[in-house]
Amino acid sequence: MSLKDKLREKKPNFGTWITIAHPEVVEIASTVPFDWLMFDMEHSPLDIQTLEIMLPGLNGSQITPLARVPWNDFVTIKRVLDLGFDGILVPWVNSKEEAKKVVEACQYPPVGIRGTGPRRCIRYGANDILEYYNKFEKERLVIAIQVETQKALDNLTEILSVEGIDVAFIGPNDLSASLGIFRQFNHPKFTEALKKVVKACDDTGKVAGIMTSGSEDAKKRLAEGFKFIALAHDFSNLRRAFISELNSVKQYLDKIQ
């Protein structure tokens, strides 16, 4: 089942953020049964050329490649999709008009404005360009927007009324900062914001997504109604594993000394 179908059926799905600019990180992640990987162009060193080198690390896996673009820019979105990504996440979407721009950038004319120059996404011509043109948006394209400001919360119903958007995604750090309660994730203002996003998604047929700090946080968010779950980042998962292994050995050493 494709990620697009899982989202249509509101099935929980899981991925992680890729920020380390090396294809081996992607290859290692591809051995884990994630539903998707999010290549982060907003807060990491990844750029278009890096993505092209890293993306083949998913060859042979069933994992859907997604990319968070640095801004709501149709040129960047076009280039990312041409590389063969099956979806994008766009930050800082605060109005219905901005949401429309996201969808238009992802779709080919006459509906949208994506330039018709596919490259790696059709395996350099090995796959039929007409088939890609006719089927990609309906069967595979995933469009996610970030809800990370008070303004986005205020305009949420209008934003999610835009046809083509699949996921409303919360970055807890940015949203809590915008609300004036940075990283106070138990603050009533923050918890009410989460409830509002989940309800708005339920009402409009979209899927609520969120970044989590790990498995325990993810369980909590699942119980709250989130379905598109990011299990932290490559670097934080790597550091957590190092700390866990080192602490385990040190605790053993303390017992035997």
Active site residues: 43
CA 58 to chain centre: 16
CA dihedral sign of residues 169, 117, 115, 44? positive
Could you tell me the end-to-end alpha-carbon distance of the chain, in angstroms, rounded to an integer?
A: 53
Contacts of 226 (CB under 8 A, 6+ apart): 198, 208, 209, 210
Contacts of 70 (CB under 8 A, 6+ apart): 41, 42, 76, 91
Query: How far apart, in whole angstroms, are the C-alpha atoms of residue 152 and residue 149?
Result: 5
Q: What is the DSSP letter of 60?
A: T
State which H helix or E strand residue 38 sits in.
strand 36-40
* DSSP assignments along 202-256, one per residue: HHHT-EEEEEESSHHHHHHHHHHT--EEEEEEHHHHHHHHHHHHHHHHHHHHHHH
